Amino acid sequence: MCRTVVDRLVLFIVVLSLFAVGVRAQDGEEHTQDDGHNHPVAAEEGHLPDDVLRRMLMEGPRGSLAVQVVQGTAGGPPVGNRKIRVDLYHTNRPIWELNADLDKNGLAMLGDLPIAVLVRPVVWIEYDGVKYLEVGQAMDENNPDTAMKLTVYETTREEPGWYISMRHIMVSTVPEGTVVSETLVVENPSDKTWFGGEPMRGDQGTTIRVQLPEGVEDVYLESGFHRWCCTSFEGRELAVQMPMMPGQTMFRFSYLIPTPLGEIDLRFSAFAPTKSMVLFIPDDGTVAEEKGMELQGTENMGKQRMRNYQATGMEPGQEVGVVLTALTPDTTTSTQTEDSTGSAMRVVMILGGVVVLGIIGVVVMRSRGG
């Protein structure tokens, strides 16, 4: 039996909350600290002047961090005697960096950490050709000591029986056209990290290939990706060249479809077995022809009433969605105003009526398609 709309929204919000506590990353590129987009910790408060911050760090209270790295693959060797890196982040920027050695049990104890301001520890380790990270709980003088556990896995070239546990799609209209914001929850049920397969991009295999609707012009990577170094967009296909870790991984991205008057085809291809697809479309007077999805009702989301369509149990290659007709100048600008958007892409941060703020690991980049 399908979950109710409310159940699905609760699940979606819970998953986002989990990602705000900790996020794992896997990529083949060194962490960069100066681009303003690649920081794994979201901003928490305003910046302090550098000299003030430096003095507070040197003279202020200290804390401690216990890090344990464990093997997540059954029968895999112990992780111990490896190096880790720990970065302390404050207001979305790294302010302290140190290296440590794990003991034979995969444990490292780090003391004398500056906690005069609120900081979040980010632990990095490279294992079997894959970089992993974990974001810890915030630390300050009221919470000076914390512990973290990071799980690593053996790797494989054999594709696991992965699937999409949820594909959440939110549609908004703006003067420039139609903005589609997607959230994918990818599930790898195995206990090994998959390197990916064809097509290759250098030495990086492709793990995820998403077919986007016709007419997409702009694609924004919001979270789950590691910039465009590990993702490509050609024709209608968004392809991810990043190792796929066991468990669930969330990807968020959005794109603009310039909307001609008359009709827009919003059908989405299931690129892997998909347990659930949920589509929200403004209830703005347009006519929606169902293509393999069923209308579940309407929901108030902020000031906009949205139609909710669902489909379950989709097989690879199956296309479902809706075709919208009876588009008019009024309906193509009905859900957002110029003042509220500024640009077409600002609306993508509103999902299910919940403004998503402070998501860990958010990367916002842009690629021109075609």
- Domains of the chain plus CATH, in order, are 31-153 (2.60.40.10), 163-368 (2.60.40)
**3-class DSSP assignment, residue 365:** strand
- List Cβ neighbours of 157 (8 Å cut-off, separation of 6 or more): 194, 195, 197, 205
- List Cβ neighbours of 50 (8 Å cut-off, separation of 6 or more): none
Give me the residues paired with residue 194 across strands: 156, 244
Task: Return the residue matching tokens 């690879």.
Answer: 316
- Closest residue by Cα to residue 332 from 280, 261, 249, 254: 261
Give yes or no for a contact between 190 and 218, defined as CB atoms under 8 angstroms apart.
no
Give yes or no for a contact between 60 and 95, defined as CB atoms under 8 angstroms apart.
no
Cis peptide leading into 160, omega within 30 of 0? no
Segment (H or E) for 54: helix 50-59
CA–CA distance, 241 with 363 (Å, rounded to integer) = 16
Cα–Cα separations (whole angstroms), residue 24 to 125, 134, 193, 252 = 11, 5, 12, 15
Task: Return the residue matching tokens 């007077």.
Answer: 285
CA–CA distance, 249 with 25 (Å, rounded to integer) = 9
CA–CA distance, 214 with 268 (Å, rounded to integer) = 10
Give residue 260's pLDDT: 67
Burial of 203 from C-beta contacts in 10 A (0-12 / 13-18 / 19+): exposed
**3-class DSSP assignment, residue 364:** strand
Mean pLDDT of successive 10-residue stretches along the chain, which has 370 residues? 40 38 37 40 63 90 98 95 96 92 97 96 96 95 97 96 96 88 97 90 86 88 85 90 95 89 84 96 88 93 91 95 73 44 35 32 34
- List Cβ neighbours of 134 (8 Å cut-off, separation of 6 or more): 22, 23, 24, 122, 123, 148, 149, 150
